[in-house]
């Protein structure tokens, strides 16, 4: 049993009229029509800012793969914003 599933969700069980944005275990749904012409990064800034500090996101993940922030979002996909951990060190 693997920890990661790299398969794309099947079209039969996916709502292709929306895009879902996940951050901090919460999800916001964006109609695909409103996402047209925007990048994944722009979607998080516009629609997911209430979920957390989107300026701290250092990578976007969809279906277990890292996605470029400037990529065009695909309807029916869940995009997760990942925030890198901050380590505190001695000065």
In a domain, 2, yes or no: no
Task: Transcribe 30-61 into DSSP letters.
Answer: EEHHHHTT--HHHHHHHHSGGGS-GGGEEEEE
In a domain, 4, yes or no: no
In a domain, 88, yes or no: no
Q: What is the pTM of this model?
A: 0.76
Domains contained in the chain, number: 1
Q: For residues 53 and 73, give the distance between their C-alpha atoms in angstroms, rounded to a whole number.
A: 20
In a domain, 46, yes or no: yes
Q: For residues 72 and 1, give the distance between their C-alpha atoms in angstroms, rounded to a whole number.
A: 32
- The CATH number given to whatever domain includes residue 46 is 3.10.20
State the residue range of the domain holding 74.
15-83
In a domain, 76, yes or no: yes
The pLDDT tens digits of the residues spanning 9-43 come to 444 456 789 999 999 889 999 999 999 999 999 99
In a domain, 6, yes or no: no
The pLDDT tens digits of the residues spanning 40-85 come to 999 999 999 999 999 999 999 999 999 999 999 999 999 999 987 6
């Amino acid at each position: 049993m693997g920890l990661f599933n790299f398969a794309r969700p099947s079209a039969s069980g996916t709502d292709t009229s929306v895009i879902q944005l996940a951050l901090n275990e919460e999800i916001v749904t964006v109609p695909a029509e409103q996402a047209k012409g925007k990048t994944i990064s722009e979607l998080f800034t516009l629609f997911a800012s209430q979920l957390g500090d989107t300026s701290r996101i250092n990578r976007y993940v969809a279906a277990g793969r890292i996605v470029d922030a400037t990529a065009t979002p695909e309807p029916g996909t869940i995009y997760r914003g990942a925030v890198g951990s901050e380590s505190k060190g001695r000065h």
